[in-house]
A and B are shown apart, each in its own frame.
Chain A
Amino acid sequence: DTEVTQTPKHLVMGMTNKKSLKCEQHMGHRAMYWYKQKAKKPPELMFVYSYEKLSINESVPSRFSPECPNSSLLNLHLHALQPEDSALYLCASSHNRARSSYNEQFFGPGTRLTVL
């Protein structure tokens, strides 16, 4: 199983709503990532979890709150978002090592988020 799944595929929310994005992988990867991608731009790293601990937070606003309940699951909790937060949110996972054939990231299909 080399798949990363993300739910929901699409999400529309108001600025006062609270919602969560979910990501799951069963490849035994111990590093998991959240990226944000705007149209015609590269994926921008938001958070990295390594062995279920938050390892990197790229100065993301606190209205985005990540959570890694176990080694297979990654959540992104959303609260009081702004319209400019509308984007494709991508989850990825990888082995946590720099070694040939182990360094690729596997991406999920993304959640298309629209904030009204």
Chain B
Amino acid sequence: DQQVKQNSPSLSVQEGRISILNCDYTNSMFDYFLWYKKYPAEGPTFLISISSIKDKNEDGRFTVFLNKSAKHLSLHIVPSQPGDSAVYFCAAMRGTTSGTYKYIFGTGTRLKVLA
């Protein structure tokens, strides 16, 4: 049961334009949502997060939007740069009965920014 899904396995965008990466989830109990970027042969790197009680968070070129009624979040990158080319994972975080937190990752979207 994939609780966090990214339905687009890949996306190509021209340099300078907007990249929009999408993520859907099924569980209403998530506390936070996070976006990570991953280069080959490296671990994921945190980009930006949003609390489940917010609908927007912005950090430089990166903005995350959360639509709770649709159980959907998106990451906007403006302007896109060739160095943004990587695999992007969304992740959802929730507490557990053991007092710790679990992070559940989406399937990833490979972004290619064309120069």
Number of interface residues of A (CB under 8 A): 29
CB distance from A111 to the nearest CB of B (A): 10
Q: Is B67 an interface residue (CB 8 A)?
A: no
Among B44, B89, B104, B108, max chain A CB count under 10 A is at B44
Residues of chain B within 8 A (CB-CB) of A43 are 44, 89, 105
User: Do A109 and B89 contact each other (CB < 8 Å), given the known contacts A42-B107, A50-B98, A96-B101?
Assistant: no
Cα of A108 to Cα of B44 in the assembled complex, Å = 8
What chain B residues lie within 8 Å of A42 (beta carbons)?
4, 89, 105-108
Are B45 and A50 in contact, with the CB atoms below 8 A? no
Give the complex CA separation of A105 and B38 in angstroms: 13
Q: Known contacts A98-B31, A98-B93, A103-B32; is A56 also within 8 Å of B43 by CB? A: no
Interface of chain B, helix or strand or loop or mixed?
strand
* Contact between chains at A45 and B43 (CB < 8 Å): no
Contact B107 A104 (CB under 8 A): no
Contact bitstring A26-50, B, C-beta under 8 A = 1, else 0? 0000010100000011111100101
Q: Which residue in chain A gives the minimum CB-CB distance to B41? A: A109
Q: Residue A59 at the B interface, CB < 8 A?
A: no
Shortest beta-carbon distance, A96 to chain B, in Å? 6
- Interface bits A3-31 vs B (CB < 8 Å: 1, else 0): 01000000000000000000000000001
Residues of chain A lying within 8 A (CB to CB) of residue B45: 107
Q: Given A103-B34, A109-B41, decide whether A31 and B104 contact each other with a Cβ distance below 8 A.
A: no
Tell me if B28 is interfacial: C-beta within 8 Å of chain A: no
B41, B43, B89, B95 — which one has the most chain A CB atoms within 10 A of its CB? Answer: B43
Residues of A within 8 A of B (CB): 4, 31, 33, 40-45, 48, 50, 55-56, 90, 92, 94, 96-98, 100, 103-110, 112
